[in-house]
Amino acid sequence: MSLLSICQWIQDTPIGTGLRESIWMFPIVESTHVLALSLSVGTLFWMDLRLTGTFMKKQPMSQVSRSVLPWTLIGFTIMTITGIFLFWCQAVKAYNSIFFKMKIAMLVLAAVNAIAYHSTIYLKMDEWDKAMPPPARARFAGWASIVLWIGIIICGRTMAYNF
């Protein structure tokens, strides 16, 4: 069984067909996905811009993170669930889309960046919390996140106009 045939099976399930053919459900799921993306990535950018040392220079990173991270995670959870449903109803189109493949690759890189940041430099935040500029590894993680999420959003929007 090929990956394409698995995508065809996923797309042809009652949930995939129902979502794709519904007058209301697809627009609701897609709109929720975009709103959750705004919440997740919007708040993530606040943290990333603080990490890069270009924004909120007088705010300790721990305070920014504590204030913003819960909202980022809520938005990310909703965005992930709705993204799965969007894939579910158009899996074959996604499989055939170079923009989808690029988006997934960048999502994997963004996850690696987040895991690397949270398992290394984040654990030593008490040493650099108020430092300006933040350590090079923190700045790199912030810039990498910004660039990757801009790319993810561009690929996602491009997918929507090429399906």
Q: Could you give the count of Cα atoms lying within 13 Å of 100 in the half-sphere of its Cβ? A: 17
The answer to whether the beta carbons of residues 19 and 26 sit under 8 Å apart is yes
| Sign of the dihedral through C-alpha 44, 47, 53, 58 | positive
Q: Write the single-letter amino acid at 81.
A: I
pLDDT for the residue numbered 161? 85
N residues, the chain: 163
Helix residue spans in 3-135 (DSSP H): 3-12, 14-21, 25-52, 61-89, 91-95, 98-119, 125-128
Is the preceding peptide bond at 60 cis, omega within 30 degrees of 0?
Answer: no
Q: How far is CA 124 from the centre of its chain?
A: 25
pLDDT one digit per residue (tens) for the chain, 163 residues: 899 999 999 999 999 999 999 999 999 999 999 999 999 999 999 999 999 999 999 999 999 999 999 999 999 999 999 999 999 999 999 999 999 999 999 999 999 999 999 999 999 999 999 888 999 999 999 999 999 999 999 999 999 888 7
What is d(CA 155, CA 104) in angstroms, rounded to the nearest whole number?
9
pLDDT for the residue numbered 1? 86
